[in-house]
Amino acid sequence: MIENQWYLAALLPELKKQNPLGKKILGKEVVIFQSESGKIHVLEDRCCHRNVNLSLGYVKGEQIKCAYHGWEFKGNGDCHCIPSLPKENPVPSSVKVHSYHAHLKHNCVWVWFGEEKPDVSKIPPMNELDEYPFVYNYHDIEGDLQLIAESLIDAYHINHVHRNSIKGIMGNLHGEEIAFNLKVEEDHMTGEYYRHNEGSIFEKFYFGFEKKILTKFGFWFPNSSKLDIHFKKRRLVIYEHFYQVDENTVRMCQITAWKKIFNGFPLFFFAKWFMLNKSIKIVQEDIAFLESNKKIKDEKPRHDLLITPSDEVSLEFIKLWKRNTQTHEKSTQKEDQKETSVL
C-alpha cells in the first residue's frame, strides 16, 4: 500500500463536536478528532491501556478521552492524564499512542502515514470545496485500485454505464476522435474536451442550449480524480477519492460540488437532495463494472489499447501509474534497507 501520500480521512462536516470519528485506511484503524480550539488530530484508534477503540471516547478540551477508564491523550499521542493515578505520580512518558500527520485543507482532513516528510503542496487542489456547496457519500468496492482510478477518468463509459443517470446532463460522445488536450506531469494529469449537449428539453432549459459542453478532468496519483462540467453559467464538479481499506476492499469517497445549480432558498435543499441521490446512483452504476473488472483482470489480456486510438487518456494514465508505483517501490526498499542496517 502506498503510504507516502496524503489521504482524505474525513470531510469536515463529518466531524461532530466532542465525537471522535473512527476510520480504516490502508489497513490502519485511526481516530480523527477536532479539539475545542479547532485543531485536527489523527491518532491510532487504540487506547494503550486495555486496547479498546479511542473512537468510543469523546473530546475533552484539547485531548481525546478514552471512555473506558478515562485516560486522556493529546493530539501528539502522549498520555496527558490517568484519572486513577495518585496526583503526586506523573504520567510515565512511555504511555502514548501513535499519532499521524494531519492537515485540514479544502474542508477535508488529510492524513499522511508514510515515513517520508509530508509536503502539504501535494494535496490535490480541490479548491471548489472551499466555496461551493457539496455533498459526499462513501462506497466500499471489491475492486482493483488501479482499475478503479482508470475508470474514473474514462470519457467513454458515461454514455453507457450512466445512460440512466447523467448521460443527458453531461452530454454525449459519438464515434469522432476527440482532442483531450492532455497535460501530463510527474504525478498528475489533466485534460479537457467537449461533449455533445443532448440533454432533455428540461435539462437544456436549465443547464443551457449550447451545442457542446466543456468537460475537464484530472487524476492525482494515487487516489484522487476530478470531473468538472462547465455549462454556460453553472458548473458541476465531481471528486472521487479512493484508497485500500485492506487487501480486498477499496473505499471510494465521492464528493459532488456545484455552482449556481438550483440555488436560493428553498431550492438549495432540493439541490442537496438531488445531488446526493444522483451521486449515489452514479457510483452504484460503476460498482458492478469495477468489481467484474477485478475478477477477470488476471485471466484475459486487454484489447482497448491496441485498437482504439482515442484511448490516449488510458495509455497516459497507465504510464503515469507505472512510473509512480515504481518510484514508490524504490523509496519503500530504501526505507526497508535503512531499517535493516539499523538492526
Amino acid (one-letter) located at 148:
I
Rounded to whole angstroms, the Cα distance separating 18 from 118 reads 28
Region from 43-51, 127-135, 154-162, 317-325 binding ligand FES, contact rule CB under 6 A? 43-51
Region from 47-55, 184-192, 270-278, 313-321 binding ligand FES, contact rule CB under 6 A? 47-55
Minimum CB distance to Fe ion smaller for 200 or for 284: 284
Return the SS3 of 82. coil
User: For the residues of 249-280, what is the DSSP string, one character each?
Assistant: -EEEEEEEEEESSS-STTHHHHHHHHHHHHHH
150 interacts with Fe ion by CB under 5 A: no
Give the one residue of 16, 39, 69, 338 binding ligand FES; rule: CB under 6 A: 69
Rounded to whole angstroms, the Cα distance separating 50 from 58 reads 17
- The CA–CA distances, whole Å, from 153 to 271, 311, 317 equal 25, 11, 9
- The CA–CA distances, whole Å, from 152 to 45, 104, 203, 221, 286 equal 31, 25, 23, 13, 9
Length of the chain, please? 343
Partner that binds at residue 50, options ligand FES, Fe ion, none, CB closer than 5 to 8 Å by kind:
ligand FES
Closest CB 68 distance from ligand FES, rounded Å = 4
Partner that binds at residue 147, options ligand FES, Fe ion, none, CB closer than 5 to 8 Å by kind:
none
Minimum CB distance to ligand FES smaller for 43 or for 123: 43
Rounded to whole angstroms, the Cα distance separating 37 from 34 reads 8
Minimum CB distance to ligand FES smaller for 52 or for 287: 52
Give the one residue of 150, 286, 311, 316 binding Fe ion; rule: CB under 5 A: 286
Q: Is 209 exposed, middle or buried (0-12, 13-18, 19+ CB in 10 A)?
A: exposed
Partner that binds at residue 286, options Fe ion, ligand FES, none, CB closer than 5 to 8 Å by kind:
Fe ion
Minimum CB distance to ligand FES smaller for 38 or for 83: 83
Total binding residues for Fe ion by CB under 5 A? 1
Closest CB 282 distance from Fe ion, rounded Å = 6
Amino acid (one-letter) located at 10:
A
Minimum CB distance to ligand FES smaller for 49 or for 323: 49
Residues forming contacts to ligand FES in the complex (CB under 6 A) are: 47, 49-50, 52, 66, 68-71
